[in-house]
Amino acid sequence: MLTLTKPKTKEIPYIKRAMMSANPSARELFLIMEEKKSNLALAIDLQSKQDILKTVKELAPHIAVLKTHIDMVNDFDIHLLLELQDMAKRGRFLIFEDRKFADTGHIVARQYEQGMYKIANWAHLVSAHPIAGPGVVEKLRKAGLDLGRGLLLVSEMGTPGSLEDDLTMKKTVHIAKDYRDFVIGFIGKRRISEEPAFIHFAAGVDIKEAHVHSGLRTLTPKQAIQDLQNDVIVVGRGILEAQDRKKEAELYRTAGWQAYEARLKI
């Protein structure tokens, strides 16, 4: 288990960190979070185009990021992507396709640029496992950098028995630093780098007490943002399974933002 990294200096606000990033999508995300007072990423793990579009339309005011698994959609078509792009532009959020690329550089470049989904054309952010080495990042960078895209490296899975350790996390940070114009940060459970330009996404956040749900270790917004020093909370079922999704999304947005403001005062 990685020891929590404590910042050496006073926490820097999102608005100032935006100017420290070399990546346009990272800068835009910092600005969106500051503007909307939201560090909430909605994991839209639904399988119907109609359900996705209806939910995004309702919750767009509350979110900074929409996290997709586009290959889960049963009735996928190009119109879904066009509508999501339009909603993202009007609703001021970024689209994050959580693809978790993990193959040879040649293969991941094709998966990113080509095939049915052509992810590079519409996703502001994607994710990749660093286990395959820097070649994966290099190929994704070549495909996405000129489009202004950004990459998150998977630093830690929330599933029991996952194989990350201190050494793999340190190597992940080294890869990120070598490609800092394209790698915008990490998705995991805790901050692993003190560099303010890197954005940390906390996956598996639940506003109730931390617990294990469907094999996933959850964090509360306070734990994720204030205690473990992440920047973005990723919430899926906690909102999607609520009776009033709009009300629940606002609860998460408020909780995440309050935790961020509390961290600034430390």
**Binding site as annotated, residues for substrate:** 45, 67, 236-237
- For the chain, the three-class secondary structure string (H helix, E strand, C coil) is CCCCCCCCCCCCCHHHHHCCCCCHHHHHHHHHHHHHCCCEEEECCCCCHHHHHHHHHHHHHHCCEEEECHHHCCCCCHHHHHHHHHHHHHHCCEEEEEEEECCCHHHHHHHHHCCCCCHHHCCCEEEECHHHCHHHHHHHHHHHHHHCCEEEEECCCCCCCCCCCHHHHHHHHHHHHHCCCCEEEEEECCCCCCCCCCEEEECCECCCCCCEECCEECECHHHHHHHCCCCEEEECHHHHCCCCHHHHHHHHHHHHHHHHHHHHCC
Select which of 8, 75, 77, 103 is catalytic. 103
Report the binding-site residues.
Answer: 45, 67, 236-237
Select which of 36, 37, 77, 98 is catalytic. 98
Select which of 37, 49, 100, 246 is catalytic. 100
CB 84 within 8 A of CB 51: no
Burial class (CB in 10 A: 0-12, 13-18, 19+), 5: middle
The answer to whether residue 100 is catalytic is yes
The answer to whether residue 98 is catalytic is yes
Comparing C-alpha atoms, which of 169, 112, 163, 171 is closest to residue 136?
A: 112
- Annotated catalytic sites, by residue? 98, 100, 103
